[in-house]
Structure 1
Amino acid sequence: MDSALVIGGTRFIGRHLVEELLEHEYDVTIFTRGNHDNPFESDDRVSHIEGDRTNDSALEAAATTVDPDAVFDCVAYHPKDVQAATRIFDDREAYVYVSSGAAYGREEVPKREDETPLEACTTEQAIDDSSDTYGNRKAAGDRAVFAAAEKGRNAMSVRPCIVYGPHDYTERLDWWIDRVNRFDRVLVPGDGTNIWHRAYVVDVASALRIVAERGEAGEAYNVGDRRLTTLEELVEVIAAQLETDVEIVHAGPHELAAGGIDLEDYLLYRSYPHVLSTAKLADLGWESTPLEEAMERAVDAHLESDRDGSEHGPDREAEERVLGILETL
């Protein structure tokens, strides 16, 4: 493969994917609405087509203009998006859909691509835009990929878990880095042992490329860090990269209630472990970045940015009330 069309490509996963493709000497075109700054605007190796991916005519024009070997779909949020793209790019060497670990419909450890069932998706959910139906819609997109493959199209799916790293506009990890960087005592919900599988964004980008080059049509591939960490271990890894010491304080639901906080208010907290098997992807030759190296880059990027995640997690004043009560116990 020599050329690629990235639907998306300027914000987070797509941005790192473009960099990954350039490193492997692809001719890259990005297809975006132009609503966000284009980090590749001055890079003559990257062409840009402006258009709305929900407009089939715009996608058809891009297919004709670019004629890419591989298509990477980073912003397909409804099953109809995948259905249209697999039809329009039906003769490409690879169509890779960015799905999600949220597509899985049963809690088990680990979740496996060919064993764990996917979420159902009703007609109403398929056209919804709320976060409540995100997993349902991603699962329906996966099924659209499988249906396309049955028609002879080289369509595949990649399912990341929680993605972190430079340019992460969700600020989920930034919230925790900010806490560790600014305070000596860090409140960790529960007993600190909960696990929500995470994936370094650079590894997600390499997974997308490798699946396009080596994956099989009609298959889905999980992607996540090969080394999992509990939430408490995550705080410790962040502290090590910041070269600081913090006291980790645990708080259960009753203690958190003193600050008007619920366990689920904490970013990256999940009561039931969410773990994806990555063996299938590893069989293609994919490897994940060592955790300490990935976290070092994530921390450096955080320190160079203005992101702190303050709009998403509990505020410090509420946490201080909880910490004050815990001191009296």
Structure 2
Amino acid sequence: MASGLVCDKLRARPFGIHKADLAALRPAISRNKRAQHVRAIRVTAAATKEVLILGGTRFIGVYLARQLVEAGHEVTLLTRGKKEVTYQIPDDTDESYAAYKSAVKHIAADRKDKSMLDDKLAGKKFDVVYDMNGREADEADLILGALGDVGQYIFCSSAGVYLKSSQMPHFEEDAGDAKSRHKGKLETEALLEKKGVNWTSVRPVYIYGPLNYNPVEEWFFHRIKEGRPIPIPNSGQQVTQLGHVKDLATAFVKVLGNDKASRQIYNISGERFVTFDGIAKACALAAGAPEPELVHYNPKEFDFGGAKAFPLRDQHFFTSIAKAQADLDWTPEFGLVEGLKDSYEKDFGRGNFRKAADFTTDDMILSKK
């Protein structure tokens, strides 16, 4: 099977795409300006909610907090207070940032410190808790213990909790992997159910977009910028799924006050699936660069000494988002290329990146070709 760009989520479409096809895509992409001029998403709320966000200063939480403030909710961020609580991001105008900064409140506390939580949250009442950085069940238990009654508890889980399967896509009812590195998130979902909380869990797949602290698109952009070949494990036909951070934030907002979402789990990601080869090509297209040279290799032939040679798990990994689309009246705004273009133009293309380029493993692979 030839290397591919994207495929429809329902129809079995070939992944093959050639240079001529990529060239033909450019006019269509240039006409579609949704990602370049995304309007601020305003959510009509039945009533103002008092919202507590656990972790609202990194990536997803930043976009979520801004959407909630724009929707008229009272937002409080609980962080350890070791860095700035608010800062201007690429999507902010000076006016919108000033409005956000003046509206958001802050509680400085370590969510793992029971006595500190009990002290700082004593007498506080919140209609909704967004738990964006919880990893273990006991962390959520401490929050519930400190707050008492919570009207709604919305948890950021991960599609990484699913047990690996030969049948794809993953549906929300699929078995979880008790040995997964994300098992703490599975245990948190079980705790919330056991406690009888009005909870909802959101399971993203791979998230990308401006401020991404995980080297997903950034890993590709570094290599594209330097004009280097892009090493991709095995055939490059492994199928996966990426979702833009703004689409994820919007889904989180759509859960708020939604009766259909009570005690439910939702997969959230992009509408279409993509191969590893396709991600590399899409990143180049988004960056306005030539189609990159792709070099396939067998990871078993190398000892990388614990270094990560590729940013994605080497397997098929994608989910159905049909349940979220039906229950939440939500659908992704961003297609893959336009979403990557949004990320590139507002972050990497401005010289902003989280990690410096490291081509050590690349050079090991390329030296054997």
TM-score (norm 1): 0.83
Q: Distance in 2 between matches of 1:162 and 1:267?
A: 14
2:27 aligns with: none
Q: After the TM superposition, which of the residue ranges 35-44 and 134-143 deviates more from structure 2?
A: 35-44
**TM-aligned CA deviation for residue 66 of structure 1:** 4.7
Q: 3-state SS of the aligned residue for 2:135?
A: coil
Q: Does 1:36 align with 2:79?
A: no
Deviations 1:260-305 (A, max 9, x none): 5599943343332111111111111111122222111111211224
**TM-aligned CA deviation for residue 312 of structure 1:** 7.0
1:126 aligns with: none
8 Å CA contact 1:82–1:97 kept in 2: the answer is no
**Residues 305 and 31 from structure 1, CA distance in 2 versus in 1: closer, same or farther, beyond 3 angstroms?**
farther
Q: Distance in 2 between matches of 1:312 and 1:76?
A: 30
Q: Distance in 2 between matches of 1:189 and 1:199?
A: 22
Q: Distance in 2 between matches of 1:270 and 1:99?
A: 18
Q: How does 1:147-226 map to 2 (within 5 A)?
A: 147-148=194-195, 151=196, 153-183=197-227, 185-214=229-258, 215-226=260-271
Gaps of 5+ in 2: 1-46, 89-97
8 Å CA contact 1:86–1:95 kept in 2: the answer is no
> What's the C-alpha RMSD, in Å, of the aligned pairs?
2.7
Deviations 1:133-179 (A, max 9, x none): 5311111111112223xx2x211111111211111122232111111
2:44 aligns with: none
Q: How does 1:71-150 map to 2 (within 5 A)?
A: 71-107=129-165, 108-114=167-173, 116-120=174-178, 134-148=181-195
8 Å CA contact 1:104–1:118 kept in 2: the answer is yes
1:286 aligns with: 330
Counterpart AA for 2:289: T
Q: Does 1:19 align with 2:66?
A: yes
Structure number having the greater helix percentage: 1
1:128 aligns with: none
Deviations 1:20-50 (A, max 9, x none): 2122222211000012332259611111110
**Residues 17 and 308 from structure 1, CA distance in 2 versus in 1: closer, same or farther, beyond 3 angstroms?**
closer
**TM-aligned CA deviation for residue 320 of structure 1:** 3.6
Q: Distance in 2 between matches of 1:21 and 1:320?
A: 47
What percent identity do the matched residue pairs reach?
A: 22
**Residues 6 and 250 from structure 1, CA distance in 2 versus in 1: closer, same or farther, beyond 3 angstroms?**
same
2:92 aligns with: none
1:276 aligns with: 319
Q: How does 1:39-78 map to 2 (within 5 A)?
A: 39-40=86-87, 43-64=101-122, 66-78=124-136
Counterpart AA for 1:9: G
**TM-aligned CA deviation for residue 89 of structure 1:** 4.3
**Residues 312 and 139 from structure 1, CA distance in 2 versus in 1: closer, same or farther, beyond 3 angstroms?**
farther
Q: Distance in 2 between matches of 1:7 and 1:118?
A: 24
Paired residue total? 306
Q: Distance in 1 between matches of 2:127 and 2:199?
A: 12
Q: How does 1:1-12 map to 2 (within 5 A)?
A: 1-2=47-48, 3-12=50-59
Q: Distance in 2 between matches of 1:208 and 1:109?
A: 24
Counterpart AA for 1:307: F
Q: Distance in 2 between matches of 1:184 and 1:40?
A: 34
**TM-aligned CA deviation for residue 310 of structure 1:** 4.7
Q: Distance in 2 between matches of 1:247 and 1:80?
A: 46
Q: Distance in 1 between matches of 2:64 and 2:253?
A: 8
**Residues 63 and 203 from structure 1, CA distance in 2 versus in 1: closer, same or farther, beyond 3 angstroms?**
farther
Deviations 1:203-241 (A, max 9, x none): 111111112232432211111111121111111111111
Q: Distance in 1 between matches of 2:351 and 2:60?
A: 17
Q: 3-state SS of the aligned residue for 1:134?
A: coil
Counterpart AA for 2:215: E
**Residues 280 and 57 from structure 1, CA distance in 2 versus in 1: closer, same or farther, beyond 3 angstroms?**
farther
**Residues 181 and 230 from structure 1, CA distance in 2 versus in 1: closer, same or farther, beyond 3 angstroms?**
same
Q: Distance in 2 between matches of 1:210 and 1:62?
A: 29
Gaps of 5+ in 1: 122-132
